[in-house]
């Protein structure tokens, strides 16, 4: 989830599960003035490691696991990411198969054993572009038009700044930033899926330092009455082969089957 460089790893992994398995009021302190959105974002960048450290890697490979205990589902996952905006994730679930999601800088797609391969469009594509943006935390204006602090709130046991985020495609969602650490504590957001928008609460449970960058290594998502857990076990930088982002055969076949554009003097045979 990525709307932020490290956050996307678990958000992307959790989003892959939607096709398989189907809070307290805000309290604003009268004594403490809210920081600006820019101040919250800059503090978050520093808490992650600072601009120089965050923009040093050109690619990353995150490995981990996914668990949905109540559904008896678990699997292994890998997320390959590369600057400026490429991503390829796989999740292998015994008894279900492999779930794949990718963005090669132009085409967003997904494929899984439940609904098959599909080309992503609309808000679902825009969310994937945001997740695939390798340096989104350093230039949020690429996807976000408004980042507005609205108060303080207790979120999963942490006192946080509650921030309303509005994207360029008119989506609104809420993020929570830990007042003590400056780190992102989680979000409440509707994730677009083949089944329609699904509202999910995403909670970062734990961060860990990988190469000077603070990475969320354990996260929980609650959606549709289902609790899912993603655990990142390793992160490597600058080891990704660009070939991994090439469109797979089933996605190429879908693209070739799409109607050809005959506007501007074009024609079909």
Q: pLDDT for 112-132, tens place per residue?
A: 998 899 999 999 999 999 999
The answer as to whether 141 is a domain residue is: yes
Percentage of the chain modeled with pLDDT above 70? 84
The answer as to whether 168 is a domain residue is: yes
CB-count burial class (<10 Å; 0-12, 13-18, 19+) for 254: middle
Instruction: Tell me what the mean pLDDT of segment 139-167 comes to.
Output: 97
**Domain encompassing residue 203:** 7-22+27-257
Please state which of the ranges 52-61, 65-74, 83-92, 232-241 shows the lowest mean pLDDT. Answer: 65-74
**Rounded to whole angstroms, how far apart are CA atoms 137 and 45?**
7
What integer pLDDT is reported at residue 21 of this predicted model? 44
What integer pLDDT is reported at residue 26 of this predicted model? 39
Instruction: Tell me what the mean pLDDT of segment 180-208 comes to.
Output: 91
Q: Which residue has the higher pLDDT, 29 or 234?
A: 234
**Taking a C-beta distance cutoff of 8 angstroms, is the pair 223, 199 a contact?**
yes
The answer as to whether 237 is a domain residue is: yes
pLDDT band at 32 (very low <50, low <70, confident <90, very high): low
**Rounded to whole angstroms, how far apart are CA atoms 126 and 198?**
15
The answer as to whether 265 is a domain residue is: no
Q: Count of domains in the chain?
A: 1
What integer pLDDT is reported at residue 9 of this predicted model? 47
Query: Is the per-residue pLDDT at 257 higher than 80?
Result: yes
- Mean pLDDT across the chain, nearest whole number? 88
The answer as to whether 266 is a domain residue is: no
**Rounded to whole angstroms, how far apart are CA atoms 261 and 145?**
32
The answer as to whether 269 is a domain residue is: no
Q: Is 69 helix (H, G, I), strand (E, B) or coil?
A: helix
The answer as to whether 267 is a domain residue is: no
- Report phi then psi at 130, rounded to 5: -65, -40
Query: Is the per-residue pLDDT at 42 higher than 50?
Result: yes
| Rg (alpha carbons) of the chain, rounded to whole number | 19
What integer pLDDT is reported at residue 64 of this predicted model? 98
Question: Domain holding 249: CATH number?
Answer: 2.50.20.10
The answer as to whether 182 is a domain residue is: yes
């Amino acid at each position: 989830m990525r709307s932020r460089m490290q956050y996307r790893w678990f958000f992307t992994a959790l989003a892959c599960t939607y096709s398989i398995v189907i809070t307290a009021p805000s309290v604003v302190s009268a004594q403490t003035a809210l920081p600006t959105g820019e101040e919250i974002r800059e503090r978050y960048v520093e808490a992650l490691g600072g601009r120089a450290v965050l923009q040093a890697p050109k690619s990353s490979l995150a490995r981990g696991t996914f668990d949905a205990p109540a559904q008896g589902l678990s699997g292994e996952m890998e997320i390959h990411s590369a600057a400026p905006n490429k991503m390829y994730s796989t999740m292998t679930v015994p008894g279900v198969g492999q779930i794949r999601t990718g963005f090669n800088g132009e085409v967003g797609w997904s494929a899984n054993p439940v609904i098959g391969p599909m080309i992503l469009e609309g808000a679902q594509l825009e969310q994937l572009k945001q997740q695939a943006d390798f340096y989104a935390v350093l230039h949020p204006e690429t996807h976000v038009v408004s980042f507005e602090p609205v108060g303080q709130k207790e979120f999963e046991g942490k006192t946080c700044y509650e921030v309303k985020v509005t994207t360029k495609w008119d989506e609104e969602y809420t993020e929570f930033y830990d007042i003590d650490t400056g780190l992102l504590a989680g979000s409440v957001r509707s994730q677009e899926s083949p089944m329609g928008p699904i509202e999910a609460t995403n909670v970062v449970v734990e961060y860990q330092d990988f190469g000077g960058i603070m990475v969320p290594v354990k996260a929980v998502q609650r959606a549709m009455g289902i609790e899912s857990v993603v655990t990142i076990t390793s992160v490597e930088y600058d080891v990704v082969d660009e070939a991994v982002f090439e469109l797979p055969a089933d996605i190429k076949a879908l693209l070739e089957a799409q109607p050809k554009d005959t506007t501007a003097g074009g024609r079909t045979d």
